[in-house]
Structure 1
Amino acid sequence: MKYIIQSNFAHLSKFVLTATSVAIFSPISSAYAALGFSTTVAQITDNSTEQQLLAHKEVETRNRPTIQRQTVTTVSHNVSVKAKKTGFSLAIWQPSGNFSEVIARISVKSKGSKGYLKEQFLGDYKYKIKQKAKFVKGLKTSDRIVVRLYDVQNRFIGYSEFESLSANTTVNLILSAKPTEYPVVRTVYGVDADQNGTIDAGTTTYDYFTQVRNQRVIFLSSSQTFQGSQFQVEGLSTIAATSVYPVSFTQGDYALVRQSFVNIFSSDLAKVLQATPGSLVQVIEVSDNSSYDISQMLMNYRQVRLSRPLQVAFSDVSIDYWAKDFIAELASMEIIEGFPNGTFRPDAPVTRAQFAAMLRKAFAKRKIRQAVAFKDVSTKSWAYNAINEVYQMGFLNTVIGKDFNPSQSLSRLDVLVALARGLNYQSSGSTDTILSVYSDATTIPREYRSLIAALTQHGIVVNYPNVKMLNAERVATRSEVSALLYQALSSTGQVTNISSQYVIGQQKIAD
């Protein structure tokens, strides 16, 4: 089942920038650090009158949009993910009680290079007790899935959080006999590679309890403080005396156990994660054998899953524009922005300085070389910090001597080479064979052929309008750079993959 959200916002907040600014990037949302209790383990501010980097956009709070109730309709949308993506099935049980239905509010905290990204809403789902639904695509190993549970009167009754595993994950949430009085949830899950609904033999079964107190949750270290029999489900493992958690829940900066209480309705969450089910978006009725595409749901809820109002649709980017989803997703992450008049200018060129700002906001890589005092980049330049940092990360080189040429427009080849160098991607196999997917492969300079081959193998190359033409020397446009940058982020696992007929993938490469 696939859905879209038909959003109606009253007004989008105005952005503070100069009339001649080129909208660039602000930092990817900082990781949402989660907290918990104890157990055992089983296994920019730069300014310019000409071009100002929009890293610190200010929003006029008086003009915040009123989010209207969303409706959900079925639609077909071409979204696919790479083989490394994982999914999960989710069942909800109540062995000792009289609930017939519950509402599961599902969200995801994606694991990125800087930690966990902001929690993103995946929908409200009405389950019948014992019912199971599948959530496929759009996840990667170590992403965290959050489930907030409500009864059909919209009373909050429980919370769980689990980790996406290396293969398909089967998850069981078990309610207490009286969840409105005793909001404790048992979580039992593990790898289910053959997707038969049971945890694979020889693999770890994670089994733990979460308890809600005053809208805060505790990840419990054991089941010895309450009557565990009410949480026993036939076919699942017997409740262990000591909780079994994934390692990341007990160790490191993002541990949920041996920490303070987790605030489950933090003020920095998107409004839809704090709202009553059904008030902002339609609750989805789960039917037998339901399957939901996570990639699709993230796009469907793009507007409401934002923690604050952002412009993600532009007047000059039509609903069927080839790069619409790349642009909108980067805008929703506050990586790119439009202009004060609501346009994006998708066909405008991108300069080296602008691209440096983009790279700085998109990637947090270690520095591999010392900064250079570029003769043509003033310390007062709006892009001074961005240029120096991305140079140190290895993305962009000097042009001649100690010049950077910040105002020079980039070719598609320039963009591709910068991404390959900064990400340190290497190709495997015959370079000529890999590049044979391009009808103009002979125009690729010899010194860059292996780099382009590496990007091709990683699914980063996007060719519009002719997928077989690399057009290496053509000036790169804002829309093209958005698509290439998004694919680069996707290749590192920082964002959900977007399918497009213009993306060159490994499946198109001859062996």
Structure 2
Amino acid sequence: MKYINQSYFAQMSKFVLAVTSVAIFSPISSASAALGFSTTIAQISDNSTNQLLLVDKKVETMNRTQLNSNKVSAKGKKTGFSLAIWQPANTFSEVIARVSVKSKSHNNYLQERFVGDYKYKIKQKVKFVKGLKASDRIVVRLYDIQNRFIGYSEFECLSANTTVNLILSAKPNEYQVVRTVYGLDADQDGTIDTNATTYDYFTQIRKQGVIFLSSSQTFQGSQFQVEGLSTIAKTSVYPLSFTQGDYALVRQSFVNAFSSDLADVLQANPGSLVQVMEVSDNSSYDTSQMLMNYRQISMSRTLQVGFSDVSVNYWAKNFITKLATMEILEGFPDGTFRPDAPVTRAQFAAMLRKAFAKGKIRQAIAFKDVSNRYWAYNAISEVYQMGFLNTAVGKDFNPSQKLSRLDVLVALAQRLNYQTTGSTDTILSVYSDANTIRPEYRSLIAALTQHGIVVNYPNVNLLNAEQVATRSEVSALIYQALSSTGKVANISSQYVVGQQQVAAEDSMERIKPRRHCNQGIGNGAEGCDPGNSHPHGGSNDEGGRTPGKK
């Protein structure tokens, strides 16, 4: 087995392997009654009134202060977690933690994605930052140095930083039980905040499966006691989503830890496909960047991320691939993506619904031209309530109307609610066609420009606001909007307005107001195709393609 330090990770983006899969839970009946277990379900999740833990509830109540999460500078407000591994018996010196994430998307979880293999010394703590949100589930599979599977845990990201402790038994190779203790640590002092709920439960390996135990009464719990952590309770304390809904884990007789649908990298021995990273004390990893670098080896076999009409050198390839990986977009049954096809208001609503999990800021409207049987009815209703798209005329939505780049940009700007710092005219001067931007939209486009959301292809200085937005352009804009909130890793592109200066100065994380973009709905991430688009194809369903057609 080979081990590497953090510097190796930068090279991983070159590692391509077309294998994929998704973790699913076996629909097995309850066994807790037979085992005589009892469970305590946490009714409060943490100090935040807007913490989202119920998997069967829509993500509707996200705190509005998180809308500009990239601007939150107060310590501890960004979602992430620190992971420490303990073994009170002191019979183990090192362990390998395989970390993966199942991102929450409305009522579902996206496919499990590999975040890396990490060689820990017992008592070490590692931080994982960026690219996570409340209610995402983190999966940790534990191995000894001989690559024997010795433990499994899952926990749920909370509304701010989460501190997580995994405690191994005295003899992990024989007694394969893991205690999980975690809670909100908003001030990032390494301890669970006062008055925050402490989740405390046990998982036990049985062959290739895992049982989430409801009680510690069936084994000697004292061997899992760590100084500074809460005393072991008789009944386990779980987040609500672990006990209720379609994705509950407790009371199942068996949760498959190695489903055949998992990506090969999640089934292979540590070190066989990807080198193990040896961590140091207080190491920190950018989760969004790691997901980006590992995306080629952690795709589901059922998930299409490569398209016959999107070449390796295509200007928007990285944006399209990343959104396809995140299940925000998908291609057509014939294996194409149709990057130059126009985007309708209904299609855009479907994309936004999958990309953003924002709270609702206004009441739903019964659009006269959108029946409850229309394929995008739910997406249109939810996105309107989120504040992304306004009515067309009266109570019509005009779902089949093609969007201009300006339409896309304005929709993003109005909901993201970014503000400019500096002169609007100065910011917009980066565009050679800035005079075509209507006065009522100039400040919105300036704000998007300053936050690095505008993408113009092939001429980065041409906004082409009134041009019909293409699938590739909308993909780029949506991705850049997500990147601006810190939800995904930055993608380097010469067509993102402002990235030219960033590359030259090599010192900026955000776009400076030198080279800015105009409103041109669709300039959100890496793409606009000003003037060179040749729209074709039909309406996309919520996955990004025409319902029932090729």
Counterparts of 1:328-477 in structure 2, within 5 Å, are 328-336=321-329, 348=340, 350-352=342-344, 356-357=346-347, 359-360=349-350, 363=353, 368-370=365-367, 372=369, 410-417=403-410, 425=415, 427=417, 437-439=427-429, 443-445=436-438, 452=444, 456=448, 461-464=453-456, 470-477=463-470
Note if contact 2:83-2:125 (Cα within 8 Å) is conserved in structure 1.
yes
TM-score by length of 2: 0.65
- Look up the match of 1:39: 39
Question: Which residue of structure 1 aligns with residue 198 of structure 2?
Answer: 205
Shift of 1:363: 2.6
2:184 and 2:381 map into 1 onto residues whose CA distance is 41
Partner of 2:469: helix, strand, or coil?
coil
Residues 482-501 of structure 1: pairs in structure 2 closer than 5 A: 482-487=475-480, 496=488, 498=490
Task: Report what 2:546 is aligned to.
Answer: none
Change (3 A) 1:200 1:389: closer
- Per-residue Cα deviation, 1:9-44 (whole angstroms, up to 9, x for no partner): 47x99xxxxxxxxxxxxxxx999799886511332x
Query: Percent identity over the alignment?
Result: 64
Q: 278, 284, 306: which is aligned to 2:299?
A: 306
Residue 371 and residue 270 in structure 1: after superposition, are their counterparts in 2 closer, same or farther (change >3 A)?
A: farther
Query: Structure 1's 400 and 209: CA in aligned 2 closer, same or farther, altered over 3 A?
Result: closer
State the shift of 1:97 in Å. 4.7
The residue type paired with residue 455 of structure 2 is: N
1:234 aligns with 2:224: no
CA distance in 2, matches of 1:208, 1:401: 51
Quote how far apart the aligned CAs of 1:322 are: 6.4
What are structure 1's unaligned runs of at least 5 residues? 14-28, 44-79, 375-383
1:279 corresponding residue in structure 2: 272
Partner of residue 14, structure 2: 6
State the secondary structure of the residue aligned to 2:141. strand
Per-residue deviation at 1:437? 4.3
Structure-2 residue corresponding to 1:77: none
SS at match of 2:474: helix
State the 1:187 CA deviation: 0.9
What's 1:126 paired with?
119
Kindly state the Cα deviation for residue 396 of structure 1 after the two structures are TM-superposed.
8.7
* Contact 1:41–1:245, Cα closer than 8 Å, also in 2: yes
**Is contact 2:98–2:116 with CA below 8 Å preserved after alignment?**
yes
> Which whole-Å CA distance do the structure 2 matches of 1:405 and 1:172 have between them?
48
Aligned residue for 2:296, secondary structure, equals: coil
Q: Give 3-state SS (helix, strand or coil) of 1:237's partner.
A: coil
Q: Which whole-Å CA distance do the structure 1 matches of 2:210 and 2:497 have between them? A: 43
Instruction: Provide the rounded CA distance (Å) in 2 between the counterparts of 1:427 and 1:362.
Output: 16
What is the alpha-carbon distance in structure 1 between the residues aligned to residue 41 and residue 479 of structure 2? 36
Name the residue aligned to 2:502.
none
CA gap of 1:181–1:497, structure 2 versus 1, over 3 A, is same
Could you list the per-position Cα deviations for residues 39-65 of structure 1 after superposition, in whole angstroms to 9, with x for gaps in the alignment?
Answer: 11332xxxxxxxxxxxxxxxxxxxxxx
1:124·1:283 contact (CA, 8 Å) conserved in 2? yes
- Establish whether residue 116 from structure 1 lines up as the match of residue 109 from structure 2: yes
For residue 85 of structure 1, report the CA deviation from its aligned partner.
Answer: 3.7
Bigger mean CA offset, 283-292 vs 452-461: 452-461
For the Cα contact (< 8 Å) 1:81–1:498, is it kept in 2? Answer: no
1:296–1:455 CA distance, 2 compared to 1 (3 A): same
Where structure 2 has 5 or more consecutive residues not aligned to the other structure, the ranges are 1-5, 33-37, 45-68, 358-362, 499-508, 514-550
In structure 1, distance between residues paired with 2:421 and 2:190: 43
| Separation in structure 1 between the aligned mates of residue 130 and residue 169 of structure 2, nearest angstrom | 31
Residue 270 of structure 1 aligns to which amino acid in structure 2?
Answer: A
Helix, strand or coil: the match of 1:303?
helix
User: How many Å apart are 1:349 and its aligned residue?
Assistant: 5.2
Report the equivalent of 2:239.
Answer: 246
Shift of residue 240 of structure 1?
Answer: 1.8
TM-score between the two structures when normalised by the length of structure 1: 0.70
> 1:89, CA displacement in angstroms?
1.2
1:211 partner SS: strand
Q: CA RMSD in A?
A: 4.6
* Rounded Cα–Cα distance in structure 2 between residues aligned with 1:263 and 1:363: 30
In structure 1, C-alpha distance between the alignment counterparts of 2:446 and 2:416, rounded to whole Å:
5
CA distance in 2: counterparts of 1:453 and 1:155, whole angstroms: 54
2 CA distance for matches of 1:260 and 1:441?
A: 63
Q: Structure 1 residues 467, 229: CA separation in 2 closer, same or farther (over 3 Å shift)?
A: farther
For the residue of structure 2 that corresponds to 1:425, the secondary structure is helix
CA 1:403–1:327 in structure 2 vs 1: closer, same or farther (change >3 Å)?
closer
Deviates more, 1:89-98 or 1:189-198: 189-198
* Separation of aligned partners in 1, 2:316 and 2:480: 12
| Corresponding residue to 1:144 among 137, 143, 146 | 137
Equivalenced residue count is: 440
Residue 161 of structure 1 deviates from its aligned partner by 0.9
Q: Which residue of 1 aligns with 2:539?
A: none
Partner of 1:75: none
Whether the 8 Å CA contact 1:97–1:176 is kept in 2: the answer is no
Is it true that 1:264 corresponds to 2:261 in the alignment?
Answer: no
The structural deviation recorded for 1:358 is 5.6
The Cα of 1:123 is off from its aligned counterpart by 0.9
Q: Deviations over 1:54-77 (max 9, x none)?
A: xxxxxxxxxxxxxxxxxxxxxxxx
CA contact (8 A) 1:350 1:476 kept: yes
Q: 1:200 Cα shift?
A: 2.7
Q: Deviations over 1:290-345 (max 9, x none)?
A: 21110011001101111117564679978887644322212324554679999877
What CA distance in whole angstroms lies between the structure 2 residues aligned with 1:106 and 1:138? 14
